[in-house]
């Protein structure tokens, strides 16, 4: 590295290249998980068929409003074949983005195809991570270089505004999560006990989290303090001089790696980790990667109209994110100019773990041929057999099992789709049965299906050594009623 490169402003060609490859892999994981689940979730014989949902939207919102409310390509056809084609196309576009072929086009297509799935998934798309990915994908349309094989895209360096907006998303994910922890009034954050039971009570624990759970309270209290410091204070280094920003990148990277190891939050933490790469620059990465050659004599190829269009769109999004944070009421006149973006989920308010879950409940589906002997449907990823160790599945996202965790935290009336899943099991729907590890009835249709609520705890070290059990559990009682054949 020469002296001129030390004094010149740092470029961001390598961070952009690394981020877009990571974004492609994240999209790939999302479409890969859809391939095994989407028919069971919203297919023709799925739990919440997309065709029925879109027909309802059509009846309630005639005219162009229906397409704005549910922005999906499935309006043309919402059958199983159409779902397969959208997922396959998303998978292909993700691969093309990973190998850096027409990244501006492929990231736009990935975003459109992912949105088409999310807009029709109904109860199975209520996660903040979906909004994070859609926002990052949309912003990357402006961030990605032009051309079929642009390599580092040295002729088209990233615009300052698009880089800022992606960093702004990264900042909001952290800072807004810190704010909601304090604003929620949850005493666990104030008395530093938020992490004491965190590892066993999350949606899908890992076996590493099992061991971390058994560390002493002082360690868990320390992680609470560290988390709040990162989210509320350290992330502000983004706006400070370069040495502070690079130090911040190292700290938050360590935090995200720790979260990934101890919990399965699908692609959420991988996306936040990838966004953190944009805190780096070419000068820093030159220690491991060749210094990109930027020809400053190249003419500006972008038309002024395109530049002003980008500024207008991204400026509007920036204002929308400010309003989303400060204006909570859906009826506030301040938010109306920006509420038109809500169905697209590209200008979001974030806030992770505002209130900590105090107990772990699991909903188990059980079927019976005679009403006497009940057999459990085995899950693929959720805790069920106490002797089965928690796995590591992220960035794969089993949306059916994630939703069951959320459903277990309230009465079944808040999650009526659980009853619909029971009905599909009575019908012997192959697509819904594939959401489970296997069909316990070997192709026979059960006469009755019920759901039972259990409470789970991690075992202690002594119990695990003696029995090999990772969990202990006790039956709470019925969750929903029994569903039988009509």
Q: How far is CA 331 from CA 253, 284, 438, 472, in A?
A: 38, 47, 46, 46
Phi, psi dihedrals of residue 263, rounded to the nearest 5°: -160, 150
Sign of CA dihedral 421, 437, 456, 190: negative
> Does residue 351 lie in a domain region?
no
DSSP letter assigned to residue 205: B
Check whether residue 334 and residue 367 sit in a common domain: no
> Does residue 1 lie in a domain region?
no
Check whether residue 180 and residue 38 sit in a common domain: yes
Q: How does pLDDT run across 5-51, given as a tens digit for each residue?
A: 444 467 899 999 999 999 999 999 999 999 999 999 999 999 999 99
Q: How far is CA 361 from CA 366, 400, 409, in A?
A: 16, 15, 7
Check whether residue 322 and residue 421 sit in a common domain: no
Q: What is the pLDDT of residue 429?
A: 97
Check whether residue 201 and residue 313 sit in a common domain: yes
> Does residue 353 lie in a domain region?
no
Check whether residue 328 and residue 448 sit in a common domain: no
Check whether residue 388 and residue 441 sit in a common domain: yes
* Beta carbons within 8 Å of 218's beta carbon, 6+ residues apart: none
Which is more confidently placed, 214 or 300? 214
Q: What is the pLDDT of residue 339?
A: 83
Check whether residue 166 and residue 265 sit in a common domain: yes
Query: Assign residue 331 a region: left if phi > 0, alpha if psi is -120 to 50, beta otherwise?
Result: alpha
Q: What is the pLDDT of residue 4?
A: 37
Q: Tell me how far apart the alpha carbons of residues 470 and 213 are, in angstroms, rounded to a whole number.
A: 12
Q: How does pLDDT run across 216-272, given as a tens digit for each residue?
A: 999 999 999 999 999 999 999 999 999 999 999 999 999 999 999 999 999 999 999
Query: For 151-160, 267-276, 289-298, 321-330, which range has the lowest pLDDT when averaged over its residues?
Result: 289-298
- Containing structural domain, residue 434: 361-484
Residue 274 CA to its chain's centroid (Å):
13
Q: How confident is the model at residue 328 (pLDDT cuts 50, 70, 90)?
A: low
Listed residues 312, 344, 376: the one ending a domain:
344
pTM of the complete model:
0.94
Check whether residue 383 and residue 323 sit in a common domain: no
Query: For 59-73, 198-212, 313-327, 428-442, which range has the lowest pLDDT when averaged over its residues?
Result: 313-327
Q: How does pLDDT run across 435-467, given as a tens digit for each residue?
A: 999 999 999 999 999 999 999 999 999 999 999
CA angle 101, 103, 106 (to 5 degrees): 90
Q: What is the pLDDT of residue 297?
A: 44
> Does residue 284 lie in a domain region?
yes
> Does residue 349 lie in a domain region?
no
Q: How confident is the model at residue 364 (pLDDT cuts 50, 70, 90)?
A: very high
């Amino acid at each position: 590295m020469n002296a001129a490169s030390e004094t010149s402003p740092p470029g961001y060609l390598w961070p952009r290249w690394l981020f877009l490859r990571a974004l492609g892999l994240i999209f790939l994981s999302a479409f890969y998980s859809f391939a095994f689940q989407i028919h069971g979730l919203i297919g023709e014989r799925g739990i919440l068929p997309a065709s029925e949902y879109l027909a309802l939207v059509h009846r309630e919102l005639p005219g162009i409003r229906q397409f704005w409310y549910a922005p999906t390509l499935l309006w043309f056809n919402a059958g199983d074949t159409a779902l397969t084609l959208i997922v396959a196309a998303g998978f292909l576009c993700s691969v093309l983005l990973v190998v850096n072929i027409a990244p501006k086009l492929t990231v736009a297509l990935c975003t459109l195809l992912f949105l088409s799935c999310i807009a029709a998934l109904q109860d199975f798309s209520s996660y903040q991570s979906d909004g994070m990915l859609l926002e990052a994908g949309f912003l990357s349309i402006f961030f990605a270089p032009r051309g079929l094989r642009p390599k580092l895209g040295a002729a088209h360096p990233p615009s300052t505004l698009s880089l800022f907006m992606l960093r702004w998303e990264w900042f909001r994910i952290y800072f807004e999560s810190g704010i909601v922890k304090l604003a929620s009034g949850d005493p666990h954050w104030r008395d530093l006990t938020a992490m004491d039971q965190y590892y066993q009570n999350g949606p899908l624990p890992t076996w590493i989290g099992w061991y971390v759970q058994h560390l002493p309270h002082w360690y868990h209290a320390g992680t609470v303090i560290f988390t709040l410091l990162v989210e509320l204070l350290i992330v502000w280094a983004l706006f400070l001089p370069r040495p502070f920003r690079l130090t911040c990148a190292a700290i938050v990277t360590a935090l995200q790696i720790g979260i990934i190891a101890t919990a399965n939050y699908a692609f959420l933490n991988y996306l936040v980790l990838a966004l953190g790469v944009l805190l780096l620059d070419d000068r820093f990465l030159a220690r491991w990667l060749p210094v990109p050659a930027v020809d400053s004599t190249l003419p500006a190829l972008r038309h002024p109209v395109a530049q002003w269009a980008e500024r207008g769109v991204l400026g509007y999004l920036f204002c929308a994110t400010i309003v989303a944070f400060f204006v909570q009421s859906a009826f506030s006149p301040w938010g109306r100019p920006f509420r038109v973006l809500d169905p697209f989920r590209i200008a979001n308010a974030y806030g992770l773990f505002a209130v900590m879950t105090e107990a772990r409940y699991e909903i188990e589906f059980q079927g019976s041929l005679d009403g006497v002997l009940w057999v459990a449907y085995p899950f693929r990823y959720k805790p069920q057999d106490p002797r089965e160790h928690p796995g590591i599945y992220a960035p794969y996202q089993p949306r059916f099992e994630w939703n069951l965790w959320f459903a277990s935290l309230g009465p079944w009336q808040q999650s009526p789709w659980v009853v619909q899943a029971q009905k599909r099991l009575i019908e012997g729907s192959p697509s819904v049965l594939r959401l489970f590890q296997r069909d316990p009835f070997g192709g026979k249709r059960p006469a009755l299906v019920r759901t039972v609520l259990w409470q789970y705890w991690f075992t202690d070290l002594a119990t695990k050594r003696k029995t090999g059990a990772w969990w202990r559990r006790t039956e709470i009682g019925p969750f929903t009623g029994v569903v039988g054949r009509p």
